[in-house]
Structure formats: C-alpha cells, structure tokens
Amino acid sequence: MTDSPSVVSAVTFRPARTQDVRAIRALVTPLAEQRVLLQKEAVAYYESVGDFVVAERDGVIVGCGAVHVLWEDLAEIRTLAVAESELGRGVGGELLTRLVARARALGVARLFCLTFETEFFGRHGFEAIEGQAVEPEVYAELLRSYDEGVAEFLDLERVKPNTLGNTRMLRVL
C-alpha cells in the first residue's frame, strides 16, 4: 500500500494525544481554506482525539486521520490529511490502512467517507455510492446525533451551506 517503504519507515504512526490537536488543526487549516476538508472548532478535535491516528516524522506531525463510529456496523473515515511535503510518499495510504484496522478491531463492517480523493480511496477498496448507507430505522436514530459529521453523512439540509460537493464512498470490510 505504500509507494516508498524506506520513506514511510522513517515515519512513526501512533494514536493521537491531546498535545497533537494543534498540529492536527495546522494540517487541516490549509485544506479547509481550499474547501477540501471542513474546519472544526478546537473543542471538536479534543472531543474526538481518541478517533485519530497521527503520522510523525522527526517529532513533527505530518499526517492525521480518524475513524469515527456512526452506528453498530458503520464508521466514517474523517479528517485524513497529509502535509504537502509528504504527499506521494505513502503516508496517507499507511494512515488509511491503520484506520481500517482500527475499524475492524472495533467490529465495524462498513466504512464511509466523504471525499474529493476518489482515486485514492478507490485504490483502497472504497466505492462511490448514491443515497443513504443505512436503513430507514437507523437513519431515524442518527437524526438524534449532535455531531456535524453525522449530519453531513445523512445529507441534512442544515449542513448544506457547509457541504463541499464531495463524493460519498463506502467500503465493506
């Protein structure tokens, strides 16, 4: 899955810690400004820090990604970001591989993402989907969530101004 094992081998992958939140936000900010990722408040990152894996090179966070459980059998890959200096070196692929492994360990059967990077996710087994990825009963339950990511997943009207026009993709594990 990695393009250059020697380059990726110099990168350490680990669960995120609260001290990493500023670096995660710094990775996301330029992508949010380009409307590739959504910008979140700092509190949202602290609340979900346990969902994140980071990639670190020489003490600097160069990538991040999260797996966020939405329902019994469904989780979302969120906030997958890699520093521009690391693009094409396999860091994103390795992050995604680790997030998929975390999802499996949690017992999730399906992974969802909203992305512009359809080729990247396609190489990792994700397929574009139309409509909802959950049954109507689950949809009704998810409507009770306060999580903005869940609202985007459900394609709710209240998040339409924030919708980036990306592709809904799903991978069955």
Q: What is the pLDDT of residue 139?
A: 55
* Tally of structural domains, the chain: 1
Q: What is the CATH number of the domain that holds 47?
A: 3.40.630.30
Residue 163, domain member (yes or no)? yes
Structure tokens at 146: 């306060």
Beta strands in 40-151 (DSSP E): 52-57, 60-71, 74-82, 110-115, 127-128
Residue 5, domain member (yes or no)? no
Q: Are 86 and 63 in contact (CB under 8 A)?
A: yes
The position carrying tokens 């990722």 is 37
pLDDT at 103 over 90: yes
Residue 162, domain member (yes or no)? yes
Q: Give the model's confidence band at 72: pLDDT under 50 very low, under 70 low, under 90 confident, else very high.
A: confident
Q: Give the model's confidence band at 74: pLDDT under 50 very low, under 70 low, under 90 confident, else very high.
A: confident
Q: What is the pLDDT of residue 134?
A: 56
Tell me the residue range of the domain where 160 lies: 12-172
Report pLDDT digits (tens) over 3-52.
Answer: 334 457 799 999 999 999 999 999 999 998 988 888 888 999 999 999 99
